[in-house]
Amino acid sequence: MLRVVPVLMLIAGSGFFLSGVSHAKDSVEHATVLDHTSVTYLSHCGGCHGIEGVSGNSFVPTLRNAVGGFACTDEGRAYLIRVPGVSMSLIRDDQTLADVMNFVMFRLAGTSLPKGFRPYTAAEIHQWRGEPLSVPDFMAQRGQTLERSLAACAQKTAKKL
Ligand code: HEC
């Protein structure tokens, strides 16, 4: 379903969402129409992570050009779904959440997205959101998960050279 979101005209100038823009027959002239996945990201995640995945100077991690760093290990791939903001999201439908996470990876992860990244499936979302991360030293574990994945990313790149 396509929805007209006039307030989002503010970001029309950025060009960022252009590939997600389509025009319904009854669309308001000059208003930006976003696809369902973009709107879902904006309403459920964008308030914290920023409309373009940049959260600025806050405790919320920046996704843009960064989040893909987790995706070179299975552990990191699962982490990105098990993290509380994703696993406990009010987006209850697994396929919709998979679409939002693939939007995050393919549209926001930018330079950090590992080559050959496989899109998340609804089955993966279903499994990992059933195992939400809840550890006392969350940030320490996040750091180790990222470190292991970045090391794996570097190895993959080295092998190709
Ligand atoms: C209330 C603010 C908030 C909302 C809403 C939110 N997040 Fe987060 N997100 C965070 C914080 C804070 C972290 C860091 C881990 C933690 O403390 O839970 C995080 C971590 C993440 C991570 C891991 C990245 C990393 O660097 O550790 C991903 C991926 C993510 N969020 C995606 C999403 C998506 C997709 C949505 C919407 C479905 C969402 N988040 C909704 C605040 C939020």
pTM (2 d.p.): 0.86
Distance 80 CA to ligand 1 centre (A): 9
Pocket residue to mutate for ligand 1, from 54, 57, 59, 60, most atoms within 8 A of Cβ: 60
Domain ranges of the chain: 57-160
Nearest atom of ligand 1 to the alpha carbon of 84: 18
Per-residue pLDDT 10s for the chain (161 aa) are 445 444 444 444 444 444 455 566 777 888 888 999 999 999 999 999 999 999 988 999 999 999 999 999 999 999 999 999 999 999 999 999 999 999 999 999 999 999 999 999 999 999 999 999 999 999 999 999 999 999 999 998 887 76
DSSP 104: I
Q: Is 100 in the pocket of ligand 1 (CB under 6 A)?
A: yes
- Please give the full DSSP string across 64-126, using - where no structure is assigned: TTTGGGGTTSHHHHHHHHHSHHHHT-S---HHHHHHHHHHIIIIISGGGSPTTPPPP-HHHHH
